[in-house]
Amino acid sequence: MSLFDRVITRDASCRKYGQLQQMFGTEDVLPLWIADMDFRTPEPIISALSSVIAQPIQGYNVEHPHWKESVTGWYEKRYAAEINEDWLHFVPGVIKTIVLTLMALTEKDDNILTCTPIYDPYPNFIKTSGRGLIQTRLIEINGSYEFDWHDFKEKINKCKMFLFVSPHNPGGIVWGRETLEKISRYCHEAGVIVVSDEVHCDLTLPGKSHIPFFMINEALNSKSIVFTSISKTFNVPAIQGGVVVIKNEELRNKFYGFLDNCYLAETNSLQQTAIYSAYTCCDNWYQELLSYLSDNVKFVTDEIAKHCPLISIVYGGASYLLFLNAEKMGLTDEQLKFFFVHEAKLGLSPGIQYGPGGEGHMRLNVGCPHSVLMESMDRLKQAYKARMIGQ
């Protein structure tokens, strides 16, 4: 029995269960929506955090002495990537710090490019920050996404920054080297900064290989900013905290100077301790997680293909998030949500929240014990069969 088979009771203090009524209008659903996992956080991280909390004086602390070393060691081992510690900076959270890149490196009314469908905070915080949102729609082909390069090239020349999610969310696409090189080249030619959100990169499953964006263009004048975090992989989103990698010295000095001079990324003992522990003490847990998630993805994929032929899956080999394409069921987005919530009694994330291209889709989280997935697929199969018979 795998340690990930254990069903852990979670109360209403966690968003996955505490917001069911708000999200779905009922609590009578199996929640497979928000992007955290129903697995116990690795014991080394819990133990390390406990040791910090146990300090009799919770005063101002210095940086964890080895957090940068743990990051460089992880990247060397997992990606054969050499990182100079000077390229690194700690940040209190990835999304909030991406917003700070807009504040520090662009001006009001500058245009920012993203793909669509895309992780939904992106369009929201671009608009809220007073920047112009421009989106290039990804092309869905055979359960994956590709760029429309003509559209991308036309739009990138109108923008100051490209916000990129690698691997993709909600599709889990692990972008290949050719795609990354094209992005790098077109953005470099247009003088555009690439901000690559790679928080799901360590969840790339066996058979796929993630390439950190800073490895694509070896030239130090390449203007890219890479964000990563342990929050998704090691199931500590409540702790938050993250890491930024910038090779370009001028860009690094400008952005890190902004963070430091505005006191926006000061030391956080809990977050830095968690980073160090995750990258140095949790490898066995991590390897077992990847194997377990791989089995879960295969199970859901096989079950839907066999029993729900009008639903296909967009999934590119990374993360625990599958994007279900139910367009062939011929339902409106409201009808599709009703089907999943009230007929299948499953709480999934509606695809329309991810923007154009998300219509007729639902995002499903497989980061849970296999028994929970078996129950979810039983519910889906029964609801699907009942609806098809009723038509």
Asked whether residue 143 falls in the same domain as residue 255, the answer is: yes
Read off the pLDDT band of 207 (50, 70, 90).
Answer: very high
pLDDT at 187: 95
The closest alpha carbon to 93, from 229, 237, 241, belongs to 241
Query: Is the pLDDT reported for residue 378 higher than 60?
Result: yes
Same domain, 204 and 59: yes
Whether pLDDT at 391 is above 80: no
23 and 124 belong to one structural domain: no
Of 258, 281, 304, which residue constitutes the final position of a domain? 281
Cα 44 from Cα 274, distance rounded (Å): 9
CATH of the domain at 331: 3.90.1150.10
Q: Which of 252, 281, 310 is the last residue of a domain?
A: 281
77 & 98 share domain? yes
128 CB-contact burial (10 Å; exposed 0-12 / middle 13-18 / buried 19+): exposed
3-state helix, strand, coil in the chain (%, to 5): 45, 15, 40
The CATH number of the domain where 51 resides is what?
Answer: 3.40.640.10
> CA 97 → CA 88, 176, 195, 372, distances in Å?
14, 26, 11, 34
* pLDDT at site 199: 98
Q: What percent of the chain has pLDDT over 90?
A: 97
Q: Are residues 114 and 194 in the same domain?
A: yes
Which pLDDT does position 218 carry in this prediction? Answer: 60
Residue 9: the pLDDT is: 93
Long-range CB contacts for residues 328-336, cutoff 8 Å, separation at least 24: 329/360, 329/387, 331/360, 333/359, 333/360, 336/360, 336/362
E-assigned strands of the chain?
30-31, 88-91, 111-116, 132-137, 139-141, 144-146, 161-165, 193-197, 224-228, 242-245, 312-314, 321-325, 346-347, 349-350, 361-365
Based on the domain organization, do 203 and 234 belong to the same domain? yes
Are 223 and 256 in a shared domain?
A: yes
Q: Are residues 33 and 142 in the same domain?
A: no
Residue 84 has pLDDT above 60, yes or no: yes
Residue 1 banded pLDDT, cuts 50, 70, 90: confident
* In the predicted structure, residue 390 carries a pLDDT above the cut 70: no
Minimum mean pLDDT range among 94-103, 154-163, 216-225, 337-346: 216-225
302 and 274 in a single domain? The answer is: no
Phi-psi region of 299 (alpha: psi -120 to 50; beta: other; left: phi over 0): alpha
* Percent of the chain scoring above 70 in pLDDT: 98
Query: Residue 341 carries which DSSP code?
Result: I
The number of folded domains in the chain is 2
Confidence of residue 245 (pLDDT cuts 50, 70, 90): very high
Does residue 388 register a pLDDT over 90?
Answer: no
* Average pLDDT of span 223-232: 97
Q: Is the pLDDT of residue 219 over 60?
A: no
pLDDT score for 314: 98
Q: Within this chain, do residues 31 and 50 fall inside the same structural domain, yes or no?
A: no
**Do residue 241 and residue 303 come from a single domain?**
no
Where does the pLDDT of residue 83 fall: very low under 50, low under 70, confident under 90, or very high at 90 and above? very high
pLDDT for position 222:
75
pLDDT in tens, 8-34: 999 999 999 999 999 999 999 999 999
- Cα distances (Å, whole numbers) of residue 25 to 92, 345, 348: 33, 11, 13
User: pLDDT tens, 33-69?
Assistant: 999 999 999 999 999 999 999 999 999 999 999 999 9
> What is the reported pLDDT for 277?
98
What are phi and psi for residue 116, nearest 5 degrees? -150, 140
pLDDT digits (tens, 9 = 90+) for 27-40: 999 999 999 999 99
Q: Given pLDDT bands bounded at 50, 70 and 90, which one contains residue 389?
A: confident
139 pLDDT more than 60: yes
How far apart CA 14 and CA 23 sit, in angstroms, is: 13
Question: Is 221's pLDDT higher than 90?
Answer: no
Residue 82 sits in which domain range? 46-281
Q: Which of 281, 315, 338 is the last residue of a domain?
A: 281
Q: Give the pLDDT mean for 227-236.
A: 98
For residue 172, what pLDDT band results from cuts at 50, 70 and 90?
Answer: very high
Give yes or no: residues 310 and 163 share one domain.
no
